[in-house]
Amino acid sequence: MAVPDLNQLGLYISIPFCRSKCTYCNFASGVYPAKDHERYVARVIDDLRSAPTWAAQMGVNLPRRVDSVYFGGGTPSLLSPTLLHQIFAAMRDDFDLESNVEVTVECAPGQIADDTLHALAACGVNRVSLGVQSFIDREAQVSGRLHSRAIVLEDLRRLRTVGITNLNLDLIAGLAGQTAASWDESLNVLIDAGTPHASIYMLEVDEDSRLGREMISGGSRYYSALVPTDDAIADMYAHSIARLASAGLHQYEISNFARRGHQSRHNLRYWMRRPYLGLGLDASSMVYASPEAADTTAPYILRSSFGDDLTGFLTGPSPAETAWLSPARQFEEAWFLGLRMNTGVNLAALRREFGRKPVAQALPTVARLVEEGLLTSDGKTVRLTDQGRLLSNDVFQMFLDAPAADREEAIHETAVLATAP
């Protein structure tokens, strides 16, 4: 069975600390005391340094060469310069960062202190993602964001001043009070800002978020009654594809748009099923079995951290959840991760990796979804249509063979991967 390139690794480091919790957020993040930061970083560094030992025990290949690093959260920029330098020093001690490594840090607008900004540049950060969500101040405020449009634009200027010009801006379609006109205004401000990358997400009502619980219960807190309808959100998303393309930001994945040469290298690693090591609260890893581990049931595993319990993570050691994936599950992932990208799923590559039989068994599903207008296929490549992107979770489920509970878990995993980052 052929597998993707195993010679390079991506590092993902979860930083779960926030100054406030957004109403729509269901991530493993929260408002924790600053005294936890030092203990947390120490634990992450311990796990980073013990990763090669873990890999040897598990019989998996853990490349030393790293071509992408991603700090997600939470708000990683809340870490002090001292703690940032400690993490980067540990990374460089235990792994070989490529000379052109992409290093991304997620930041909240208005929460990048001057000394932190200079520390990021000094550590080698060359890409920053700002969680803007809306350039309409009122929409941002009712969602729990702490910034204004002016603050975002000033942070862009400050980042560029220290040489960080590879910038991403996040927007969410479907925030409370949002209209077609206000959405178009946010898109126009994003385009005028001149960043080379944008991430556009459709609001998902998640029962684990404050807003989701309120909407499900029929309550009125968090301005839940002002959340646009699903059809309105879909129209905003569809409009953004055309509007961004006209400005040179072309869609390359369901939620991601970039100018030529500015696609997120780290996120592509997820969708292309290349190895990555996740460290920190609720992070996950995907690494391939070593060639000598002939008794394993599949060529890669998923490893999850302790979960979303910060206290348990800090008091460790925490038992990592580890599972070898069957070839059937890998085949499912190849479909639903590959279809996220506009390049789609290459059938010849699937046959080389998994054999002709499973691909042949999937083709009737492809034909049915083509007939329903959710996929296109020229016999070589299968892609989502515009309508298919709006209903992508439904499409992905058609390629899952697992029981219903497992299908829901797998679809949730793809949603998580789409935001990583």
pLDDT in tens, 106-115: 999 999 999 9
Domain limit, last residue, from 233, 251, 270: 270
> In the chain, pLDDT over 70 holds for what percent of residues?
80
Query: What is the total count of domains within the chain?
Result: 2
Asked whether the predicted pLDDT for residue 51 surpasses 50, the reply is yes
Cα Rg of the chain (Å, integer): 21
Q: Do the domain assignments include residue 35?
A: yes
Asked whether the predicted pLDDT for residue 129 surpasses 50, the reply is yes
Distance of alpha carbon 274 from alpha carbon 404, whole angstroms: 27
The residue that leads in pLDDT, 8 or 302, is: 8
Q: Do the domain assignments include residue 300?
A: no
Mean pLDDT of 271-300: 79
Phi, psi angle pair for 254, to nearest 5° = -45, -45
The residue that leads in pLDDT, 225 or 385, is: 385
Q: Do the domain assignments include residue 299?
A: no
Q: Examine the domain organization and report whether 265 and 335 are in the same domain.
A: no
Q: Examine the domain organization and report whether 342 and 238 are in the same domain.
A: no
Mean pLDDT of 37-49: 92
> In the chain, pLDDT over 90 holds for what percent of residues?
62
Q: Examine the domain organization and report whether 337 and 224 are in the same domain.
A: no
CATH number, residue 352: 1.10.10.920
Q: Do the domain assignments include residue 288?
A: no
How confident is the model at residue 1, as a pLDDT?
A: 41
Mean pLDDT of 235-249: 97
Q: Do the domain assignments include residue 405?
A: yes
CATH number, residue 28: 3.20.20.70
Q: Do the domain assignments include residue 324?
A: no
Query: In 194-259, which residue ranges form alpha helices assigned H by DSSP?
Result: 210-217, 230-246
Q: Do the domain assignments include residue 282?
A: no
Q: Examine the domain organization and report whether 244 and 362 are in the same domain.
A: no
Residue 342 sits in which domain range?
Answer: 331-421
Mean pLDDT of 258-273: 96
Q: Which residue has the tokens 């590092």?
A: 11
Q: Examine the domain organization and report whether 98 and 204 are in the same domain.
A: yes
How confident is the model at residue 418, as a pLDDT?
A: 35
User: What would the two tokens of residue 321 be?
Assistant: 């959840």
Q: Do the domain assignments include residue 202?
A: yes
The residue that leads in pLDDT, 283 or 158, is: 158
Three-state secondary structure of the chain: CCCCCCCCEEEEEEECECCCCCCCCCCCCECCCCHHHHHHHHHHHHHHHHHHHHHHHHCEECCCEEEEEEEEECCHHHCCHHHHHHHHHHHHHHCEEEEEEEEEEEECCCCCCHHHHHHHHHHCCCEEEEEEECCCHHHHHHCCCCCCHHHHHHHHHHHHHCCCCEEEEEEEECCCCCCHHHHHHHHHHHHHHCCCEEEEEECCCCCCCHHHHHHHHCCCHHHHHHCCCHHHHHHHHHHHHHHHHHCCCEEEECCEEECCCCCCHHHHHHHCCCCEEEECCCCEEEEEECCCCCCCCCCEEEEECCCCCHHHHHHCCCCCEEEECCHHHHHHHHHHHHCCECCCEEHHHHHHHHCHHHHHHHHHHHHHHHHCCCEEECCCEEEECHHHHHCHHHHHHCCCCCCHHHHHHHHHHHHHHHCCC
Asked whether the predicted pLDDT for residue 163 surpasses 90, the reply is yes
Domain limit, last residue, from 248, 270, 292: 270
Domain limit, last residue, from 223, 255, 270: 270
How confident is the model at residue 259, as a pLDDT?
A: 98
Q: Examine the domain organization and report whether 19 and 88 are in the same domain.
A: yes
How confident is the model at residue 351, as a pLDDT?
A: 94
Q: Examine the domain organization and report whether 126 and 27 are in the same domain.
A: yes
The residue that leads in pLDDT, 319 or 339, is: 339
Q: Examine the domain organization and report whether 262 and 335 are in the same domain.
A: no
Q: How confident is the model at residue 318 (pLDDT cuts 50, 70, 90)?
A: low
Q: Examine the domain organization and report whether 143 and 250 are in the same domain.
A: yes
Q: Examine the domain organization and report whether 41 and 122 are in the same domain.
A: yes
Q: Examine the domain organization and report whether 355 and 249 are in the same domain.
A: no
DSSP 325: P
Q: How confident is the model at residue 242 (pLDDT cuts 50, 70, 90)?
A: very high
Q: Examine the domain organization and report whether 37 and 153 are in the same domain.
A: yes
User: What would the two tokens of residue 255 be?
Assistant: 């939620």
The residue that leads in pLDDT, 297 or 103, is: 103
